[in-house]
């Protein structure tokens, strides 16, 4: 999937707990076994019976999938992140889709910030070494059309954490600067 101008989008945004889960497991093979107690901590399960509450959360996660489209918004492929999961004694065994073994997708699944994956794709799909992103385009990427009046708040709450993701998890050597032209 090395071709440029392919965009990856999620059917439903991954929750913080789902992203924490994906960061905590080794997605180098299709199958991962995780102890129930570990999952209770990651998903912050407190309600009794815990296993039923966990199953509800996993079912929500199970319903999320990834869509791959090209630059002309033509649909290419859709696949689940999880193919299956099953409970066995004190463990849950997860079977991941083989498509998520792609390095680009693995990194995108492990980002801490909700929209880091969009910036990651913008950068990887760009032919240029310097990307200029207008304020309107930035608001579209981050889906914050009506919020954050001041750029300072966008920078502090969104851009700085996203760029930390891009350099640490995305392994990109990047920096950004503000163009203060009005």
Report residue 71 as tokens.
Answer: 């630059």
Contact status, residue 78 vs residue 99, Cβ threshold 8 Å:
no
Contact status, residue 101 vs residue 28, Cβ threshold 8 Å:
yes
What does the pLDDT average to over 17-30? 92
Is 142 domain-assigned?
A: yes
Same domain, 86 and 23: yes
Cα–Cα distance between 118 and 141 in angstroms, integer? 7
What does the pLDDT average to over 19-48? 94
What does the pLDDT average to over 23-52? 94
What does the pLDDT average to over 9-13? 89
Q: Which domain holds residue 130?
A: 111-182
Phi first, then psi, for residue 88 (nearest 5°) are -140, 110
- Given a cut of 50, whether residue 8 has pLDDT beyond it is yes
Report residue 61 as tokens.
Answer: 């996660």
End of a domain among 53, 71, 101? 101
Per residue in 61-82, pLDDT (tens digit) is: 999 999 988 777 777 889 999 9
Please report the pLDDT score of residue 61 as a whole number.
96
Contact status, residue 85 vs residue 95, Cβ threshold 8 Å:
yes
- Given a cut of 80, whether residue 46 has pLDDT beyond it is yes
Please report the pLDDT score of residue 147 as a whole number.
85
Cα–Cα distance between 76 and 63 in angstroms, integer? 19
Same domain, 39 and 58: yes
Number of domains the chain contains: 2
Per residue in 130-172, pLDDT (tens digit) is: 888 888 888 888 888 888 888 899 999 999 999 999 999 999 9
Helix, strand, coil % over all residues of the chain, rounded to 5: 40, 20, 40
Contact status, residue 100 vs residue 66, Cβ threshold 8 Å:
yes
* DSSP state letter for 45: -
Same domain, 22 and 75: yes
Same domain, 15 and 85: yes
Per residue in 94-129, pLDDT (tens digit) is: 999 998 888 888 889 999 998 899 889 888 888 888
Is 78 domain-assigned?
A: yes
Contact status, residue 80 vs residue 65, Cβ threshold 8 Å:
yes
Furthest-apart CA atoms within the chain: distance in Å:
61
């Amino acid at each position: 999937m090395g071709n440029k101008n392919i965009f990856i989008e999620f059917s439903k945004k991954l929750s913080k707990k789902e992203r924490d889960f994906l960061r905590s497991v080794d997605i180098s093979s299709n199958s991962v076994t995780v102890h129930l107690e570990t999952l209770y901590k990651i998903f912050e399960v407190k309600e009794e019976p815990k296993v039923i509450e966990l199953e509800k959360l996993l079912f929500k996660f199970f319903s999320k999938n990834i869509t791959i489209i090209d630059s002309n918004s033509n649909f290419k492929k859709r696949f689940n992140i999880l193919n299956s999961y099953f409970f066995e004694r004190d463990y849950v065994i997860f079977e991941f889709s083989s498509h998520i073994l792609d390095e680009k997708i693995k990194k995108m699944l492990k980002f801490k910030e909700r929209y880091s994956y969009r910036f990651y794709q913008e950068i990887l799909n760009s032919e240029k070494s310097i990307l200029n992103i207008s304020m309107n385009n930035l608001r579209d990427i981050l889906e914050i059309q009506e919020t954050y009046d001041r750029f300072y708040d966008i920078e502090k709450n969104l851009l700085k954490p996203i760029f930390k993701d891009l350099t640490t998890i995305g392994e990109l050597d990047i920096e950004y600067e503000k163009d203060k032209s009005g």
